[in-house]
């Protein structure tokens, strides 16, 4: 029997905490990565996926990492754990390469992309600068970067997110590694760019005969891409095997839960499944479908007319041009309904939300809130309306004051808008809102850093609810969350809408999520609205070429994958 490329056996890793206690990150896990195959390592944040891949690279911090003496990591029959620092340096970049989730934080901002590829080639292949430069151009051509001979002189910030990720792939395959580790490489990308990157990695894997360890929390992304899968939770392996075997006939409740947490394009349950639905030991029953759509005669709470937002861009010493970020956008939002706004990065969807919130000053147009144009009124006139239009951002940690406790975060907007007659009443309201968003009472006196990403997003939602808004703008508010946490937040938003008849502007590049929660969908491209209609109609019969392109880019699950989902 052929020795696998990677063999991980009985791997146990603890991290020493500041208080002297130990956190058990990996609990004696074992799996193999055969030659020339793609293995998907899936699970939620904290499952141990990234710790496993980092250990394989020999990059765990020495100061607080404790690896059990019986643990084994072998690469091509050699022990990684026994390698010297010099041997590990040769291994990394040479035999094993890695692509990270955020290419901008991995690329050096002060060097051109060409210099960074050339450095890799000279370090591991001992090539001359001239030969390395030509090889760098060849690599950029191979990964599909346009105009590689001129782009080789570009700096990372001059490239889009998808182009940066292509550069990372070029650097990764420069030395023809035997193993490519892709750690959430498409999570932050638009659906069209995600498809391109997945296809590129698959193409490179076949062309170069590599093995790929694909780390992700989204099972749907790897359904067609991977050969084998390992499902992890809390540092343990729940299930492993061939991709079709595990996904079509999942045995572990956790695997079943992950499969069913993702919003589907074929049906819309009243509530998305969450992990606990499957771990309670009872057979999960899919809820009935939830009807969606705008209704004739429903009151319109927000009407936007010909909204424009232009930015002045400097093109020369005294020359400027207008960048039309939002160009003549018009729509209506009904009370108690959700308008989903979709499009790629740069389409103008977030600028629409920020302009309506008056975080950006509009160039022209109207936003009529209950008949009053909130864009033209003075700050003094807008102040009483401000509490009625709120926004939830993508990154809750950046929008929560790290020096405030959760209680202070919730009470501050009440003080600013004179909600509650005294401290006791405001605290009572804050605690009730924490309960409403599914957080325990002891969260009140904790700080944001003590919570997970999903819990922070719940705090951000609770803060918005303190003002009892009529309109909630959700700006990529679930895109960075695990699929299971995403399902919890989407269920929460739906419950709040049912209870308070709030209206949502739901901005996202994730089309399956938008279809699940939206009554109407507005598709934007280069600042303009190219298509609008009921969510089901737009997905079932897209009219515009751009909409068709977006929908075609959604990962198309094989029939055996769809058959595995609860019905």
Parent domain of 473: 337-353+381-564
- Report helix angle 129-142 to 161-173, nearest 10: 130
In this model, does residue 154 exceed pLDDT 80? yes
Tell me how far apart the alpha carbons of residues 390 and 112 are, in angstroms, rounded to a whole number. Answer: 41
Exposed/middle/buried for residue 205 (C-beta within 10 Å: 0-12, 13-18, 19+): buried
What are the pLDDT digits (tens) for 441-496?
788 999 988 887 778 888 888 888 888 899 999 988 887 777 888 888 899 889 88
In this prediction, residue 5 carries a pLDDT of 95
Q: Which residue has the tokens 């160039």?
A: 363
Take residue 30 and report the two structure tokens written for it: 């074992």
Given a contact cutoff of 8 angstroms between Cβ atoms, the answer to whether 25 and 235 are in contact is yes
In this prediction, residue 26 carries a pLDDT of 94
| Higher per-residue confidence, 126 vs 452 | 126
Take residue 543 and report the two structure tokens written for it: 């009219």
Tell me how far apart the alpha carbons of residues 288 and 305 are, in angstroms, rounded to a whole number. Answer: 37
Q: How many helices (H) and strands (E) does the chain have?
A: 22, 21
Assess if residue 278 is contained within a domain.
no
In this prediction, residue 133 carries a pLDDT of 93
Widest Cα–Cα separation across the chain: 77
Query: In whole numbers, what is the pLDDT of the chain averaged over residues?
Result: 88
Assess if residue 26 is contained within a domain.
no
For the chain, what is the domain count? 1
Assess if residue 200 is contained within a domain.
no
Q: Give the alpha-carbon dihedral of 417, 420, 426, 429, to 10 degrees.
A: -100
Take residue 557 and report the two structure tokens written for it: 């699950």
What is the arithmetic mean of pLDDT over 390-403? Answer: 83
Assess if residue 484 is contained within a domain.
yes
**Three-point CA angle 146, 152, 153, nearest 5°:** 125
Tell me how far apart the alpha carbons of residues 341 and 360 are, in angstroms, rounded to a whole number. Answer: 18
In this prediction, residue 376 carries a pLDDT of 93
What are the pLDDT digits (tens) for 421-451?
889 999 999 998 888 887 887 889 999 888 8
DSSP state of 220: G
| Higher per-residue confidence, 23 vs 190 | 23
What are the pLDDT digits (tens) for 259-268?
888 888 888 8
Query: Do the bridges between strand 471-475 and strand 300-314 make them parallel or antiparallel, or are there none, so unpaired?
Result: unpaired
- Beta-strand runs (E) in 398-512: 471-475, 503-507
Beta-ladder partners of 29: 11
Assess if residue 201 is contained within a domain.
no
Q: Which residue has the tokens 């018009």?
A: 330
DSSP state of 442: G
Q: What phi and psi values does residue 270 have, to the nearest 5 degrees? A: -60, -35
**Three-point CA angle 217, 222, 225, nearest 5°:** 155
Given a contact cutoff of 8 angstroms between Cβ atoms, the answer to whether 543 and 360 are in contact is no
In this model, does residue 559 exceed pLDDT 70? no
Q: Give the alpha-carbon dihedral of 111, 117, 120, 126, to 10 degrees.
A: -120
Tell me how far apart the alpha carbons of residues 52 and 247 are, in angstroms, rounded to a whole number. Answer: 22
In this prediction, residue 188 carries a pLDDT of 65
Helix %, strand %, coil % for the chain, to 5? 40, 25, 35
Given a contact cutoff of 8 angstroms between Cβ atoms, the answer to whether 96 and 178 are in contact is yes
What is the arithmetic mean of pLDDT over 512-524? Answer: 93
Kindly state the percentage of the chain with pLDDT values over 90: 44
In this model, does residue 212 exceed pLDDT 60? yes
Tell me how far apart the alpha carbons of residues 144 and 170 are, in angstroms, rounded to a whole number. Answer: 10
Tell me how far apart the alpha carbons of residues 22 and 15 are, in angstroms, rounded to a whole number. Answer: 6
In this prediction, residue 558 carries a pLDDT of 55
- Give Cα separations from 158 to 192, 314, 483, 548 (angstroms): 20, 15, 31, 29
Assess if residue 218 is contained within a domain.
no
In this prediction, residue 561 carries a pLDDT of 53
Tell me how far apart the alpha carbons of residues 1 and 171 are, in angstroms, rounded to a whole number. Answer: 33
What is the arithmetic mean of pLDDT over 45-68? Answer: 90
Kindly state the percentage of the chain with pLDDT values over 70: 96
Assess if residue 437 is contained within a domain.
yes
Assess if residue 373 is contained within a domain.
no
In this prediction, residue 567 carries a pLDDT of 44
Take residue 180 and report the two structure tokens written for it: 């490519």
Per mean pLDDT, which range of 177-186, 282-291, 441-450 is the poorest?
282-291
What CATH number is attached to the domain comprising 485? Answer: 3.40.50.300
- Give Cα separations from 510 to 189, 190, 478, 550 (angstroms): 9, 7, 9, 10
What are the pLDDT digits (tens) for 71-119?
999 999 999 999 998 899 888 878 999 888 777 778 899 999 999 999 9
Q: What are the contacts of 243-248 at 24+ separation with CB within 8 A?
A: 243/40, 244/558, 244/560, 247/219, 247/223, 247/560, 247/561, 247/564, 248/560, 248/561, 248/563, 248/564
In this model, does residue 206 exceed pLDDT 50? yes
Take residue 565 and report the two structure tokens written for it: 């989902």
In this model, does residue 307 exceed pLDDT 90? yes
In this prediction, residue 542 carries a pLDDT of 93
Given a contact cutoff of 8 angstroms between Cβ atoms, the answer to whether 225 and 198 are in contact is yes
Beta-carbon count within 10 A of 43 CB: 28
């Amino acid at each position: 029997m052929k020795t696998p490329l990677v063999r991980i056996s009985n791997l146990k890793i603890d991290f020493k905490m500041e208080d002297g206690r130990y956190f058990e990150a990996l609990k004696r896990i074992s799996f193999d990565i055969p030659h020339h195959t793609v293995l998907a390592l899936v699970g939620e944040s904290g499952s141990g996926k990234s710790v496993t891949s980092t250990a394989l690279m020999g990059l765990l911090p020495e100061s607080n990492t404790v690896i059990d003496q019986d643990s084994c990591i072998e690469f091509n029959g050699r022990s990684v754990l026994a390698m010297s620092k010099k041997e590990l340096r040769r291994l990394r970049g040479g035999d094993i390469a890695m692509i990270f989730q955020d290419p901008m934080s991995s690329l050096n901002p002060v060097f051109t992309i060409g210099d960074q590829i050339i450095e890799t080639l000279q370090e591991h292949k001992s090539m001359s600068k001239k030969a390395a430069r030509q090889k760098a151009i060849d690599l950029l051509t191979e990964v599909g970067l346009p105009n590689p001979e001129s782009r080789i002189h570009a700096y990372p910030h001059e490239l889009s997110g998808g182009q940066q990720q292509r550069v990372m792939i070029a650097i990764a395959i420069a030395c023809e590694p035997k193993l490519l580790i892709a750690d959430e490489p498409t999570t932050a990308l638009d659906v069209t760019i995600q498809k391109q990157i997945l296809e590129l990695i698959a193409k490179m894997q076949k062309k170069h005969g590599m093995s790929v360890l694909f780390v992700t929390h989204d099972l749907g992304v790897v359904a067609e891409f991977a050969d084998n899968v390992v499902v992890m939770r809390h540092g343990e392996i729940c299930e492993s095997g061939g991709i079709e075997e595990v996904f079509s006939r999942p045995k572990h409740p956790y695997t079943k839960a992950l499969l069913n947490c993702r919003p589907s394009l074929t049906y819309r349950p009243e509530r998305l499944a969450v992990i606990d639905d499957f771990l309670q030991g009872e057979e999960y029953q899919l809820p009935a479908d939830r009807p969606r759509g705008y209704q004739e005669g429903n009151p319109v709470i927000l009407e936007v007319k010909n909204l424009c937002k232009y930015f002045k861009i400097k093109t020369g010493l005294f020359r400027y041009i207008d960048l039309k970020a939002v160009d003549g956008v018009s729509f209506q939002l009904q009370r108690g309904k959700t308008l989903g706004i979709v499009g790629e990065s740069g389409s103008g969807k977030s600028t629409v939300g920020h302009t309506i919130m008056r975080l950006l000053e509009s160039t022209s147009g109207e936003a009529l809130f209950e008949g009053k144009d909130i864009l033209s009124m003075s700050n003094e006139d807008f102040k009483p309306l401000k509490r009625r239009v709120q926004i939830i951002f993508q990154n809750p940690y950046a929008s929560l004051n790290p020096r405030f406790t959760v209680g202070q975060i919730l009470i501050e907007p009440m003080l600013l808008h004179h909600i509650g007659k005294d401290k006791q009443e405001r605290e009572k309201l804050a605690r009730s809102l924490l309960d409403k968003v599914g957080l325990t009472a002891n969260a009140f006196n904790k700080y944001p850093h003590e919570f997970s990403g999903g819990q922070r997003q719940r705090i951000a939602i609770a803060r918005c609810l303190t003002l009892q808004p009529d309109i909630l703008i959700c700006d990529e508010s679930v895109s960075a969350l695990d699929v299971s946490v995403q399902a919890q937040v989407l269920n929460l938003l739906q419950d709040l809408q049912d209870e308070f008849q709030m209206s949502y502007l739901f901005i996202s590049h994730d089309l399956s999520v938008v279809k699940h929660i939206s009554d109407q969908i507005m598709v934007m491209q280069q600042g303009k609205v190219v298509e609008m209609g009921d969510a089901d109609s737009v997905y079932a019969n897209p009219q515009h070429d751009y909409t068709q392109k977006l929908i075609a880019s959604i990962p198309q699950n094989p029939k055996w994958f769809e058959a595995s989902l609860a019905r």
